[in-house]
Amino acid sequence: MTTTEAQNGRPATAILLVHGPLREGLAASLTGFVYRNTGHIVYHDQYVDREKQLYFTRLEWGLPGFAVPREEIGERLNAAVAEPFGVRWRLHFSDDIPRMAIFVSKLPYCLYDILGRCRSGEWKVEIPLIISNHPELEPVAKRFGIAFHCFPITPANKRAQEQKELALLRKNGIEFIVLARYMQILSGDFVAAYPDAIINIHHAFLPSFPGPQPYHAAYQRGVKIIGATSHYVTEHLDAGPIIEQDVIRVSHLHTVEDLIRMGRDLEKVVLARAIWHHIQRKILAYGGRTVIFG
Amino acid sequence: MTTTEAQNGRPATAILLVHGPLREGLAASLTGFVYRNTGHIVYHDQYVDREKQLYFTRLEWGLPGFAVPREEIGERLNAAVAEPFGVRWRLHFSDDIPRMAIFVSKLPYCLYDILGRCRSGEWKVEIPLIISNHPELEPVAKRFGIAFHCFPITPANKRAQEQKELALLRKNGIEFIVLARYMQILSGDFVAAYPDAIINIHHAFLPSFPGPQPYHAAYQRGVKIIGATSHYVTEHLDAGPIIEQDVIRVSHLHTVEDLIRMGRDLEKVVLARAIWHHIQRKILAYGGRTVIFG
Amino acid sequence: MTTTEAQNGRPATAILLVHGPLREGLAASLTGFVYRNTGHIVYHDQYVDREKQLYFTRLEWGLPGFAVPREEIGERLNAAVAEPFGVRWRLHFSDDIPRMAIFVSKLPYCLYDILGRCRSGEWKVEIPLIISNHPELEPVAKRFGIAFHCFPITPANKRAQEQKELALLRKNGIEFIVLARYMQILSGDFVAAYPDAIINIHHAFLPSFPGPQPYHAAYQRGVKIIGATSHYVTEHLDAGPIIEQDVIRVSHLHTVEDLIRMGRDLEKVVLARAIWHHIQRKILAYGGRTVIFG
Amino acid sequence: MTTTEAQNGRPATAILLVHGPLREGLAASLTGFVYRNTGHIVYHDQYVDREKQLYFTRLEWGLPGFAVPREEIGERLNAAVAEPFGVRWRLHFSDDIPRMAIFVSKLPYCLYDILGRCRSGEWKVEIPLIISNHPELEPVAKRFGIAFHCFPITPANKRAQEQKELALLRKNGIEFIVLARYMQILSGDFVAAYPDAIINIHHAFLPSFPGPQPYHAAYQRGVKIIGATSHYVTEHLDAGPIIEQDVIRVSHLHTVEDLIRMGRDLEKVVLARAIWHHIQRKILAYGGRTVIFG
C-alpha cells in the first residue's frame, strides 16, 4: 500500500526529518530541493539549538507532481543537501502505514484505549500482533480480531524468549513497539534492535518515582500532583528520552487506590499522545531529549 | 443482586445522601442513627453552604452487622432524622449495580472509551443497551456484546420515537443515561422522566461555545485553551448543572482539525469522570450547581 | 539609549516581524537579506496559515557587524523583500527600551505585581507614568517612584479627559498601555490611537463571562474551572485578540470570595505573560487572533 | 491586638485543629462543646485516614457570645474532649495577626511578591523583619518600610549567626518563617526551634530534582513539565511535608534561561498559596504529609 493515492482525500506526502550542524544556506537548500522539483510544501517546522549550534527540521511536501520518483529522493537528497551540509535525515511517506506491535502484561486499560483509538480511525496504523508475558489479555485481543502471542518470561528463558519475539516482530514487519503497561524489563539486546522505536508508559512523573509502585511512593511522599510519562526505551530503566508527560492534582483525601484510578487516565492519554507524535513522524530524539515538532 | 455479600472482598455498604436546612444536631443525629444501630461508618463528607444555610452530606456505612434490615432503613431514617430536621435524602446500596443506557449517534470514540472502561472492570455498572438515531455504531455494540437499538429521529416522529425509547429504558430497568456524543436534543418530556439522571458531554468549556460546532467557534475566537464539560441534562440546552470540566492548552499552530482531535481526549475523560462520580453516588445537584463529594 | 551596545552582556539585535501571502522564495529572501549583509541570525520562527495561505515570521539577528546601518534597514527591506513579495513588516531593536503606561482604578494587586517585576529586572521596560480614574493607588506609585496622574471620568467629561490622557501619553513617548484592572471602558477614539498596543486583563475565561462581575457569574453557573484572559483592546468590549489565558480548578466548596481570591493570581500571571510577549516583540495580531512566536 | 472586635466587619473566631485516633462520639463531642457554650459554627471540615484510623478536623466558631472566655477555652477543651478521646489540638484566634519573618538571599522576586500581597491587603499578617545572608535586597525592604538584618554565613560562624537570628526572631515574637529563595541550609537546631513553622519554596517538582540547580537538571533530563514545591522545612533537605505544588508545560524550545523565567511565577504562586493556607490555619502536618483543609 505504498502509492501516491489520496488518504482521506489527501494526497500522499513525503516527510523529511533532518538534523545536523547549523549552517547558513541549509534551510534554503532543503526548501530549494523541494521547490526545484516542483514540490508543494504543506508543513515546515524548524528548531535551532543555539547553544550547541544544531539545526532540526521537519519538512513535508506533496508527492503528486513531484519531479523525483520516491525511490530516488534519498539519493538526490544526499547529493544536494546531506553531504554538502553534513546532516542526517530520515524520510517517510504518509501512505506507508506504520506497523506497530503492542506488548502487555495483565492490566487491560491501555490496551483497550489503544485498540479503541485504532478502530475509531484516530490513527493510521496497522497492529498485526499483541505480545504478552501472561495469557490474561488474550480475550481482549480476540475481541478486536488481533493475533495474540504469549511468551512467559523467566530469568532462565528470557534471552531465548526475546529472540523468538524479535523473530516474530521481524516476520511481521513491525516498525515500532508500544509497551502498554508491559511488566518486564527488556534486555539491552532487545532494545538495540529497535532504537527510538519502543515507546513505554511509566506511571509517574519522571524522574520522580522510577521503578515499581510509583503510586505508593507518591502517596508516601505526600505529593500534591501525580503524573505519567511516555518515553523511548533505552537500556537504562525509565531513563530514556521523554516524549510526553501530564499531571493531575491530588490531595490528602486520595488513597493509593484513588491515585491508581486517577493515574490510569493519565497513562492512557500520555501514551496515546506519544504514539500519535511517533506515527506523525514528529519526533526527533537526540542527546537524551526529544524535539517534538508542532 | 441485592445482597450483603462482599464485592471485591469488600462488605456491602449503605450510601446516604442528605440535604436540607443547616440545623444544630443534624449531623450528630445522622451519625448517631448509624452508631446506635451498630453500623460502622466508612465514609462521611459534609458541605455547608453558609450563605444559604444549607447542609449537604454523604454518609456511608457497612451493612453486615447493621441492626436495621435494609428495607426498613428508609422508614427509620424518616422518623429519626428526615422529619425532625426537615431534610431530603436518597439511599443507595453499594451492591445494587446501576443500570446505564448509552445514547450515541455516529462518533465512536466516547462509546469505545466507555465500553473499554466497563470491560476493564473500572466501573461496577450494567449496560443492557445502546440506543442510537443512526445505524453506524451497531458493529461496536456487537463487538462488546451489547444490544443496539436504532431509533431514527425526524421532526415528525420525534415524540413517538422518544416514547418508544422510554418504554425500552423502563423495561430494562435503566437508572441513568449517558449521552456519548448523541446528536439530538431530547424533548422536555423525555428529560423529565430522568431528572438528574441524564449525563451529557459538551465539547466546549461551558458556558463558552454552547450549541453546535464549538471547536470551529473556539478557533475563530482565537482562544488559547479549549475545554469539555459534562453536565446533567435539563430542558435548557447545554445549561444543566455542570459535573466536571477539563481543559487543554492550544495555540495559533492548531487548526480546527487539531482542536477536534485534541478535544476528543478531553471529552472522553470528562465524561468518564462524571459517570464515575454518578455511580459512586457522589453527586448532589441543587440550584443549578452540583456538590461533588470528595 | 538606542545604541548597539550590549545589554546584559548581549549584543543588540534587530527583530523583524513579517506577514503576508505565502510565496516561494519569501523565507529564503528574508534570511538571505540578513546573511548577505553579514548578519548573524539568533532567532527564526515561522508560521504558515495553510488554509489562508499566509506566512508569518519573526527573525532576529545581531546588529554589531551588520553591513546596513539601522536607520537604513527599513528602506532596504522594502526594496529587497516587502515590495517584491507584497508583505508587511515591523522592525524593532532590542536596545530600544519600550515605554509603557499603566492604567489602574482601585485594585492594587496587578499594579504591585507589574512594578515588582520591573524592579526585579524581569522586564526591560520603562514606566514613565501611571494613570488612574481614582486617587487610591497614588501611594503605590510613590512607593516605586513613578509619576501618578488622576483623571476622574464622568459621562460628561470622558471625551475631554481621554484627550488629556492621550496628550500626556504622547508627551511621554508611550508605546503601549497596560490596563491593570482599569475599570473604565475606553472610547473607540482612544483605542484607535493605540492599535494592538493596549493590553487588558479580563477576570474570566473569555468568551465566558464578559462584562462586569464574572466571578459572581461563574459561581452562579457552577463552573468547575475559572480563568483569566489577557487581550488587545479593540472597540468591542472584551472581544479583542486573545494573547494569553490560564485557568484554575474550583469546586462547590469555593465561595464567590474564594473565586475572587484565587482568580487574582491568575490575573497577575496572565497579564504578566502578555506583557512579556509584547515587549519581546513575539506577538502578531491578525484576523481577530494572535500568533505568539515561540 | 487580641480582642473580639470585628476584622473586615467579621466577628472574631476561634479556630481549632484536632487530630487523633478515630473514635465514635469524637466529632459530636467537639461540635457539642461549641453548641453547648452557645457558639455559632462557621466552618467545619473533617478528614479520616481510614487506613490508620485517624481523625483530623478543623472547627471554627464565632467568639462574640461564646460562653467560655478565650483564655479558658483550652482548659475546658482538655477536660471535655482531648483527655477523654486522647486527641491533640491547637487553638488559634482569627484576630491574632500572625507574625512572620522572611529569609532571603539575592533573588528579589519572591520577596516583592510577598510584600506586594501584604500591602494589597491579601493577607492578615505582620512582617516585623527580613533576614538575609547577603546585603543586596536591603533596598527592597526599605522600599516597603521593613527592618532588614544581614547575617552573612560562613562554615565557621554558622552556628553563632543562627543563634543570633533565633534571638532576634524570639524578640520580635515571630511565629513562622518564610524562606523566599534563601540560599542557605538551616541547621537541625534552628529547624527544631520552629517545627512545622518554616515554609520553603523549592524550584522543582519534588521529589524530582532536589538540591541546587534544578532547572538545569530538568533541562538536561528533557522533562516536558516543570514545577515548584512549597514545604515545611525539616532537618532533611527538600524532604519536609509538601504543602503545595504546581507545574507548567515546557518544550524543547525552552532554554534553561526560559525555564528559570517561567519557573519564577510558579515559585511565587506556590509559595504564596502555602503562606495563605498556613495563616488561615488550614494545615495539619503528620507522618511526613500534610492535610490541607478545604
pLDDT in tens, A82-132: 999 999 999 999 999 999 999 999 999 999 999 999 999 999 999 999 999
| Chain mean pLDDT for chain B | 94
Q: Please, what is the Cα angle at C33 between C30 and C35, to 5 degrees?
A: 110
Q: Are A225 and D246 inside 8 Å of each other by CB?
A: yes
Which grid cell is D272?
504564596
d(CA D56, CA D86): 13
Chain B residue with CA closest to D32: the answer is B25
Cross-chain CB nearest to D120 (options C109, C117, C294): C109
Residue range B115-127: mean pLDDT, rounded: 95
Q: Give chain A positions within 8 Å (CB) of B265.
A: 269, 272
Q: Is the pLDDT of residue B97 over 90?
A: yes
Beta strand residue intervals within A83-197, DSSP E: 88-93, 99-104, 126-132, 147-150, 176-179
Could you tell me which chain D residue has the CA closest to the CA of B32?
A: D25
Chain A residue closest in CA terms to B269: A265
Partners of residue C44 in chain A, C-beta under 8 Å: 46, 48
pLDDT: which is higher, D113 or B8: D113
Picking from C58, C109, C266 by the largest number of D CB atoms within 10 A of its own CB, the best residue to mutate is C109
Q: What residues have CB less than 8 Å from B12, skipping those under 6 apart? A: B3, B4, B5, B6, B62, B63, B64, B93, B94, B95
Taken as a whole, chain C contains a residue count of 294
3-state secondary structure chain B: CCCCCCECCECCEEEEEEEEECCCCHHHHHHHHHHHCCCCEEEEEEEEECCCCEEEEEEEEECCCCCCCHHHHHHHHHHHHHHHHCCEEEEEECCCCCEEEEEECCCCHHHHHHHHHHHCCCCCCEEEEEEECCCCCHHHHHHCCCEEEECCCCCCCHHHHHHHHHHHHHHCCCCEEEECCCCCCCCHHHHHHCCCCEEEEECCCCCCCCCCCHHHHHHHHCCCEEEEEEEECCCCCCCCCEEEEEEEECCCCCCHHHHHHHHHHHHHHHHHHHHHHHHCCCEEEECCEEEECC
CA distance B118 to B113: 9
Reduce the DSSP state of residue A10 to 3 states and report it: strand
On chain D, the residues whose CB falls within 8 A of the CB of C113 are 113, 116
Question: Which pLDDT belongs to residue B8?
Answer: 55
- Alpha-carbon Rg for chain A, nearest whole angstrom, is 21
Contact D108 C120 (CB under 8 A): yes
Read off the pLDDT of residues C103-153 as tens digits, 9 standing for 90 and up. 999 999 999 999 999 999 999 999 999 999 999 999 999 999 999 999 999
Best residue of D29, D36, D44 to probe chain B, by most B CBs closer than 10 Å: D44
CA separation for the pair A256, B230 (Å, rounded): 26
Q: What's the gap in Å between the CA of A161 and the closest CA on chain C? A: 47
Closest partner CB to C28 (pick from A31, A48, A50) = A31
Share of residues in chain C with pLDDT > 70 (%): 97
Place of cell 519572591: D110
How many angstroms separate the Cα of D134 from the Cα of each of A126, D111, D157, D191? Answer: 62, 14, 14, 20
* Chain A neighbors (3+ CB pairs < 8 Å): B, C, D
Which residues from A are below 8 Å from D245, CB to CB? Answer: 223-225
Distance from CA of D210 to the nearest CA of C (A): 25
- Distance between CA atoms of C91 and A97, rounded to whole angstroms? 45
Can you tell me the mean pLDDT for D179-206? 97
Contact D215, D260 (CB under 8 A): yes
**D chain contacts of residue C120, beta-carbon cutoff 8 Å:** 108-109, 112
Among the options B238, B246, B258, B265, which is catalytic? B238
Least CB–CB distance from D31: residue in B28, B43, B249: B28
CA A190 and chain centroid, separation: 16
Residue D103 CA to residue D118 CA, distance in Å, equals: 16
How far is D177 from chain A, CA to nearest CA, in Å?
22
pLDDT > 90: what percent of chain D?
89
Q: What per-residue confidence (pLDDT) applies to A24?
A: 81
Task: Please judge whether D47 and A255 are an interchain contact, meaning their C-beta atoms are less than 8 angstroms apart.
Answer: no
D42/B24 touch (CB, cutoff 8 Å), yes or no:
no
**Chain B contact probe: residue of C252, C255, C270, C286 with most B CBs at under 10 A:** C252
C-alpha distance from B147 to closest chain A C-alpha (Å): 16
| Nearest residue to C287 (alpha-carbon basis) of C93, C49, C59, C34 | C49
Nearest CB partner across the interface for C294, out of D109, D112, D253: D253
Phi, psi of D34 (to 5 degrees): -70, -50
Instruction: Indicate the average pLDDT of chain C.
Output: 94
D117–C116 C-beta distance less than 8 A:
no
Residue A273 identity (one-letter amino acid): R
| D7 has a pLDDT exceeding 70 | no
pLDDT at A8: 55
> Which pLDDT score is estimated for C8?
55
Residues of chain A with pLDDT > 70, as a percent, come to 97
| Residues of chain B with a CB closer than 8 angstroms to some CB in chain A | 108-109, 112-113, 115-117, 119-122, 140, 143-144, 251, 253, 261, 264-265, 269, 272, 294
pLDDT (0 to 100) of residue C9: 65
CA distance to partner chain C, nearest, from residue A28 (Å): 6
What amino acid occupies position C133? Answer: N
How high is the pLDDT of residue B208? 95
DSSP strand pairing (C126-132 vs C147-150): parallel
C278: left (phi over 0), alpha (psi -120 to 50) or beta: alpha
What residue in C sits closest to D262 (Cα-Cα)? C273
The residues, any chain, with a CB within 8 Å of residue B33's CB and separated by 6 or more, are: B76, B77, B80, B81
The beta-carbon neighbor of B42 closest among D35, D42, D50 is D50
Nearest to D278 by CA among D177, D144, D174: D177
Contacts of B108 in chain A (CB under 8 A): 116, 119-121
Chain B residues with a Cβ under 8 Å from any Cβ in chain C: 47, 50-51, 205-209, 220-225, 227, 241-247, 251-253, 255, 288-292
> Which chains reach chain C with 3 or more Cβ–Cβ distances below 8 angstroms?
A, B, D
Contacts of A35 in chain C (CB under 8 A): 24-25
pLDDT at B166 over 90: yes
Q: How far is B104 from chain C (nearest CA, A)?
A: 25
Over residues B130-134, the mean pLDDT reads 98
What are the residues whose beta carbons fall under 8 Å from the beta carbon of C59, sequence distance 6 or more? Answer: C15, C16, C18, C30, C31, C34, C41, C43, C44
Identify whether A265 is a catalytic site residue: no
Q: For every residue of D33-60, which 3-state class applies, written as one string?
A: HHHHCCCCEEEEEEEEECCCCEEEEEEE
Q: Which residues of D touch B (CB under 8 A)?
A: 24-25, 27-28, 31-32, 35, 42-44, 46, 48, 50, 249
Cβ contacts of B35 on chain D, cutoff 8 Å: 24-25
Strand locations in chain C (E): 13-21, 41-49, 54-62, 88-93, 99-104, 126-132, 147-150, 176-179, 198-202, 225-232, 242-249, 283-286, 289-292
Task: Tell which wins on pLDDT, B188 or D2.
Answer: B188
Q: Report the residue of A10, A46, A59, A291 to disrupt the C interface, i.e. the one with the largest count of C CBs within 10 Å.
A: A46
Interface mutation target, options D13, D23, D24, D36, chain B, most CBs of B under 10 Å: D24
Task: Give D251 to chain A, closest Cα distance, Å.
Answer: 8
Give me the residue label for grid cell 547529493: A79
Beta-carbon separation of B27 and D27 below 8 A: yes
* Residue B230 neighbours by CB under 8 Å, 6+ apart: B199, B200, B201, B202, B242, B243, B244, B245, B270, B271, B273, B274
Question: Which whole number is the average pLDDT over A41-66?
Answer: 93
Q: Closest partner residue to D289 among A208, A252, A290, by Cβ? A: A252
What single DSSP character describes residue C80? Answer: I
pTM here is: 0.95
B112/chain A closest Cα distance in angstroms: 5
How far is the alpha carbon of B82 from chain A, nearest alpha carbon, in Å? 29
pLDDT at residue C7 is higher than 50: no
Mean pLDDT value of segment C67-86: 96
Q: Which of C238, C246, C258, C265 is catalytic?
A: C238
Return the number of other C-beta atoms located less than 10 Å from residue B159's C-beta: 12
Give this complex's ipTM.
Answer: 0.94
Name residues whose C-beta falls within 8 Å of residue B51's C-beta, 6 or more positions apart in sequence: C255
Confidence of residue B7 (pLDDT cuts 50, 70, 90): very low
**Which residues does chain B have within 8 Å of residue D46's beta carbon, measured at their own beta carbons?**
44, 46
Core vs surface per residue D72-88: b (16+ CB within 10 A) or e: ebeeebeebbbeebebe
Determine which of C223, C224, C293 to mutate to test the interface with B (most B C-beta atoms within 10 Å).
C224
pLDDT for position C40: 87
**Which string of b and e fits C12-41 if b means at least 16 CB within 10 Å?**
bbbbbbbbbebeeebbbbbbbbbbeeebbb
pLDDT of residue D6 exceeding 50:
no
Q: Any residues with CB less than 8 A from the CB of A110 and at least 6 apart, and which?
A: A104, A180, A181, A201, A267, A268, A271
